[in-house]
């Protein structure tokens, strides 16, 4: 774990002392945004070269980040009220990923409608870029100490030692924990491989997005059982588990009900091999 990768000291501007640091989480987050942006723009422009893909991507990202951080602060209201963390700490220490996804998707849909982009195509382009960018972001979680797992005796358990992560996120120190961010890295890389394979086989509208909804939803639901950071909850499930169940339901409804289980378009006549003369 390395919350601060580079520390260049401080600088004083108008009497305010500002630390000059590069955090592991922030660096990976920035890299994740860039990877997702390049992939989505490259794929989106294959059919809609005139659409403002960069604007659509970054407005959706901004909305998703704000939505995820606000939801994180809402889930930590008890900690804020008790003085365990400040509101600012809750807002800057990370966000609820699935909450950010929901808010970001709403903005993305509105922007696609405004610019005349077929929503099914836009979703497929987005969900090719999302898995690798999220995998990179989860490496940032590992470096920053957030989204940590429950104590474990398994040989791949990881142990945190940084006091800053303990203060901001409540990360347990000196105890082997499930490397839950790495579990998600593995899931997202697998989903990325599936998404790429589907993309180059002419996916049907929303097919790649629906596969991600089901695959990530099931994986996240299971991983939540070995997460130990506070995420809020209702009844016997965490907030993210309820959102995951919603994703799985939507994905299955689309895959089975709307697509009939067929993820790709049938080959066009031009793609079929010519018959040999008798």
Q: If DSSP codes are grouped into helix, strand and coil, which group holds residue 75?
A: helix
Quote the pLDDT of residue 9.
73
- 237, part of any domain: no
Tokens at 245, concatenated: 């169940």
Quote the pLDDT of residue 58.
92
Question: What does pTM read for this prediction?
Answer: 0.82
Query: From CA 4, how far away is CA 165, in angstroms rounded?
Result: 10
- 63, part of any domain: yes
Tokens at 249, concatenated: 């339901």
Quote the pLDDT of residue 270.
56
In which domain, by residue range, is 175 found?
Answer: 23-203
Quote the distance between the C-alpha of residue 245 and its chain's center. 16
Residues 68-119: tens digit of each pLDDT:
777 777 776 776 777 766 666 666 656 667 778 888 999 999 999 999 999 9
- 109, part of any domain: yes
Quote the pLDDT of residue 217.
96
- Within a 10 A sphere around the Cβ of 118, how many other Cβ atoms? 12
Tokens at 241, concatenated: 């588990």
- Within a 10 A sphere around the Cβ of 275, how many other Cβ atoms? 6
Tokens at 166, concatenated: 């303990």
Helices (H), the chain: 24-44, 53-75, 77-81, 87-92, 97-114, 119-144, 163-169, 180-199, 207-223, 239-252
User: How many distinct structural domains can be found in the chain?
Assistant: 1
- 272, part of any domain: no
Quote the pLDDT of residue 85.
64
CA angle at residue 199 from 193 to 203, to 5 degrees?
125
- 136, part of any domain: yes
The list of the chain residues with pLDDT below 50 reads 278
- 268, part of any domain: no
Contact 187, 134 (CB under 8 A): no
Query: From CA 179, how far away is CA 111, in angstroms rounded?
Result: 36
- 85, part of any domain: yes
- 221, part of any domain: no
């Amino acid at each position: 774990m390395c919350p601060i990768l580079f520390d260049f000291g401080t600088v004083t501007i108008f009497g305010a002392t500002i630390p000059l640091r590069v955090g592991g989480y922030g660096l990976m987050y920035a890299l994740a945004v860039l990877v997702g942006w390049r992939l989505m723009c490259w794929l989106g422009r294959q059919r809609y070269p005139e659409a403002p893909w960069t604007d659509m991507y970054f407005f959706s990202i901004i909305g998703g980040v704000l939505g995820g951080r606000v939801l994180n602060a809402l889930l930590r209201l008890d900690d804020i009220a008790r003085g365990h963390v400040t509101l600012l700490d809750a807002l800057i220490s990370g966000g609820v990923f699935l909450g950010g996804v929901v808010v970001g998707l709403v903005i993305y849909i509105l922007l696609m409608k405004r610019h005349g982009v077929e929503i099914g195509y836009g979703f497929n382009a987005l969900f090719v870029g999302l898995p690798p960018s999220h995998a990179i972001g989860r490496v940032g979680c590992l470096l920053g100490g957030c989204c940590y797992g429950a104590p474990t005796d398994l040989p791949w358990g990881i142990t945190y030692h940084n006091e800053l992560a303990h203060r901001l996120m409540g990360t347990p120190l000196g105890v082997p924990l499930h490397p839950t961010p790495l579990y998600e890295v593995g899931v997202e890389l697998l989903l990325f491989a599936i998404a790429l394979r589907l993309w180059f086989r002419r996916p049907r509208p929303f097919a790649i997005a629906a596969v991600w909804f089901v695959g990530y939803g099931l994986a996240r639901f299971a991983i939540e059982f070995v997460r130990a950071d506070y995420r809020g909850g209702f009844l016997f499930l965490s907030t993210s588990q309820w959102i995951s169940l919603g994703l799985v339901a939507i994905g299955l409804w689309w895959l089975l009900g709307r697509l009939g289980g067929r993820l790709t378009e049938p080959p066009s006549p031009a793609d079929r091999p010519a018959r040999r003369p008798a």
